[in-house]
Homo-oligomer: A and B are copies of this chain.
Amino acid sequence: MPDQKLRNMLQKRGLKATSQRMIILDYLMSHKTHPTAEMIHADLQTISLATVYNTLEKLVDSGLVVVIDSHDDKRHFDYYGEPHYHIINQKTHEIIDANNFDVQPLLDAARKASGLNISGYHIELYGVDPKDAK
């Protein structure tokens, strides 16, 4: 991903375009591995763990990145270029991306039920491989 594009993505959202932020954003955009902060830090050794956490928080707040709670006690992160949701294998904790459904009816129902403006969502489904089922 070219530098200038990363810079624009950050600045458009009111974030200073530091080299660490560009590197982390580029990393997330080019990896479909749903990494944890620790995994990002391990791969990008020149960036401190604190900065990885700080940057992820900013990227999540800006909407560029989402958190996935995979129930293995660590937060996973995913670049959110296209709206999608996650299906988590309960045995292996593998995280699968899916995007073939329309969330709008759900958002409308939520708005009606709560009176809140819906600003985001997490949809996570848990599944077991049929060949693992007892």
Contact = CB atoms under 8 A, between A and B. Distances in A.
A18 interface: no
A50 interface: no
**Copies of this chain in its oligomeric complex:** 2
A114 B101 contact: no
Interface stretch (A5-13, A23-31, A32-40, A123-131): A123-131
Given A90-B119, A133-B117, A125 B110 contact: yes
B122 A127 contact: no
Interface in A85-115: 85, 87, 89-90, 96, 98, 100-101, 105-107, 109-115
Interface of A: 67, 69, 71, 85, 87, 89-90, 96, 98, 100-101, 105-107, 109-130, 133
